């Protein structure tokens, strides 16, 4: 019986342009009717009003206007970057953005959504906002609808700068392999989602920069790594093949970068700055030295 009512309601929601998974409706109805002994008509009304509310609050917002958590919204965005998954329960995570800024997104394995692709634009209907460490992100859930769109969106982002010494480059950097289906970094040749896959080579650096007062995690993608180190992906592959050792590339990166000063620039996302620009720190200027000497003498 509950199933029939759920199907009725789902059809009604569809007409209202709200896609709610059948099992969600069924579960709610079942709880109300069978557990809390709510009359059928009351249960239907309750479910309808709940999802209509969701629909009403799912306003189309711009990224910069996201200023509260737990808000159901829709976003017209471009997928700026997909990140390797750090947890088995995460299907995809990365950075999306529009003309007003960028924001981190997460979609869960259990939400069972189609994957999004880097560089493509989508209308994301019904995502929920969340706050973590003072920064907002959006979660794609079961009730989220992902609609690919044709127009290209110009993404703007808030750029931060950091000047300091690179004090660590973490394992998982260097020459790595990603899953050809979801781009996640492979662990021992295996993708958390797709199992044993052939994989595609990529270069990346997960590092730490430190100015003596603050530490900052940084992510460098292939393009930046190639220009910073002056070694291409193909050359890195050749290096590793000749040495029969993939970790050689990571060692070389560490040799070149750790203990040296850089100024980096890029959008901050969660704990990372996604480095878009990196320069070796300029040499000390005699003026800086002279000024500091005066300052010390005045002490």
Partner 1 sequence: MLSREVAKRVFAREFGESDMAFKEQDDQYAPQYLLTPTGAKCNRIFFVGTLIEKGDIGNDVEYWRARVVDPTGSFMIYAGQYQPEAAQALSGIEPPQFVAVIGKPNTYEMSGETLTSVRPERIHIVDADTYDLWILETARQTLQRLKQLNEGSEDATKAKEHYSTNIEHYKEMVLEALKTISKSGEKVSFIDLSDI
Instruction: Report residue 151: phi and psi, to 5°.
Output: -65, 145
Based on the shown chain and the rule CB under 8 A, indicate whether residue 90 belongs to the binding site for partner 1: no
Total chain residues near partner 1 (CB under 8 A): 29
Question: Which of 118, 168, 137 shows the shortest CA–CA distance to 269?
Answer: 137
Cβ of 196: how many Cβ atoms within 10 Å?
Answer: 10
Based on the shown chain and the rule CB under 8 A, indicate whether residue 245 belongs to the binding site for partner 1: no
Based on the shown chain and the rule CB under 8 A, indicate whether residue 109 belongs to the binding site for partner 1: no
Based on the shown chain and the rule CB under 5 A, indicate whether residue 182 belongs to the binding site for Zn ion: yes
CB of 210 to partner 1, least distance (A): 5
Based on the shown chain and the rule CB under 8 A, indicate whether residue 281 belongs to the binding site for partner 1: yes
Cβ of 291: how many Cβ atoms within 10 Å?
Answer: 11
Q: Quick check: helix, strand or coil at residue 142?
A: strand
Q: Quick check: helix, strand or coil at residue 73?
A: strand
Could you tell me the two tokens for 196?
């044993």
Give residues 196-255 in contact with Zn ion (rule: CB under 5 A): none
| Contact with partner 1 (CB under 8 A) among 15, 151, 242, 299 | 299
| Contact with Zn ion (CB under 5 A) among 29, 103, 191, 205 | 191
Closest to partner 1 by CB, 41 vs 286, is: 286
Based on the shown chain and the rule CB under 8 A, indicate whether residue 11 belongs to the binding site for partner 1: no
Closest to partner 1 by CB, 188 vs 294, is: 294
Binding mask 250-279 toward partner 1 (x if CB under 8 A, else -) reads ----xx--xxxx------------------
Q: Say how far apart CA 153 and CA 104 lie, in whole Å.
A: 17
Residue 289 binds which entry of partner 1, Zn ion, none, CB below 5-8 Å type-dependent: partner 1
Based on the shown chain and the rule CB under 8 A, indicate whether residue 214 belongs to the binding site for partner 1: yes
Q: Say how far apart CA 153 and CA 137 lie, in whole Å.
A: 19
Based on the shown chain and the rule CB under 8 A, indicate whether residue 243 belongs to the binding site for partner 1: no
> Burial code of 174-189, b = ≥16 C-beta within 10 A, e = fewer?
bbbbbbeebbbbbeee
DSSP 8-class letter at 151: S
**Among the residues of the chain, which ranges form H helices?**
2-15, 22-30, 40-57, 222-229, 233-243, 247-257, 286-297
Contact status, residue 162 vs residue 209, Cβ threshold 8 Å: yes
Based on the shown chain and the rule CB under 8 A, indicate whether residue 247 belongs to the binding site for partner 1: no
| Contact with partner 1 (CB under 8 A) among 19, 65, 168, 193 | 168
Residue 194 binds which entry of Zn ion, partner 1, none, CB below 5-8 Å type-dependent: Zn ion
DSSP 8-class letter at 35: I
Residue 160 binds which entry of partner 1, Zn ion, none, CB below 5-8 Å type-dependent: none
Based on the shown chain and the rule CB under 5 A, indicate whether residue 91 belongs to the binding site for Zn ion: no
Instruction: Give Cα separations from 7 to 13, 24, 34, 144, 261 (angstroms).
Output: 10, 11, 17, 19, 62
Based on the shown chain and the rule CB under 8 A, indicate whether residue 208 belongs to the binding site for partner 1: yes
Question: Which of 196, 186, 207, 92 shows the shortest CA–CA distance to 138?
Answer: 92
The residues that touch partner 1, with contacts defined as CB under 8 A, are: 165, 167-168, 208, 210-215, 254-255, 258-261, 281, 283-284, 286, 288-290, 292-293, 295-297, 299
The residues that touch Zn ion, with contacts defined as CB under 5 A, are: 179, 181-182, 191, 193-194
């Amino acid at each position: 019986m509950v199933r029939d009512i759920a199907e009725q309601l789902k059809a009604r929601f569809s007409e209202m342009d709200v896609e709610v998974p059948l099992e969600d409706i069924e579960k709610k109805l079942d709880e109300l009717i069978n557990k809390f002994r709510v009359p059928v008509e009351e249960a239907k009304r309750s479910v309808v009003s709940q999802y209509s509310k969701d629909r009403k609050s799912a306003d189309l917002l711009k990224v910069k206007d996201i200023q509260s958590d737990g808000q159901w919204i829709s976003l017209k965005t471009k997928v700026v970057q997909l990140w390797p998954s750090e947890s088995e329960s995460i299907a995809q995570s990365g950075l999306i953005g529009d003309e007003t800024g960028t924001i981190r997104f997460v979609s869960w394995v259990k939400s069972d959504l189609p994957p999004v692709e880097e560089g493509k634009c989508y209308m994301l209907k019904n995502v929920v906002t969340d706050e973590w460490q003072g920064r907002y992100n959006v979660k794609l859930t079961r009730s989220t609808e992902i609609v690919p769109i044709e127009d290209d969106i110009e993404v703007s982002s808030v750029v931060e700068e950091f000047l300091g010494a690179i004090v660590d480059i973490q394992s998982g950097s260097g020459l790595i392999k990603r899953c050809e289906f979801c781009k996640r970094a492979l662990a021992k040749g295996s993708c958390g989602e797709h199992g044993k896959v052939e994989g595609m080579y990529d270069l990346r650096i997960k590092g730490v920069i430190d100015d003596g007062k603050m530490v900052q995690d940084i992510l460098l993608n292939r393009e930046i790594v190639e220009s910073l180190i002056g070694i291409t992906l193909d050359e890195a592959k050749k290096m590793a093949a000749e040495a029969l050792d993939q970790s050689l590339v990571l060692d070389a990166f560490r040799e070149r970068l750790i203990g040296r000063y850089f100024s980096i620039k890029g959008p901050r996302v969660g704990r990372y700055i996604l480095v878009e620009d990196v320069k070796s720190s300029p040499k000390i200027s005699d003026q800086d030295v002279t000024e500091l000497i005066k300052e010390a003498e005045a002490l």
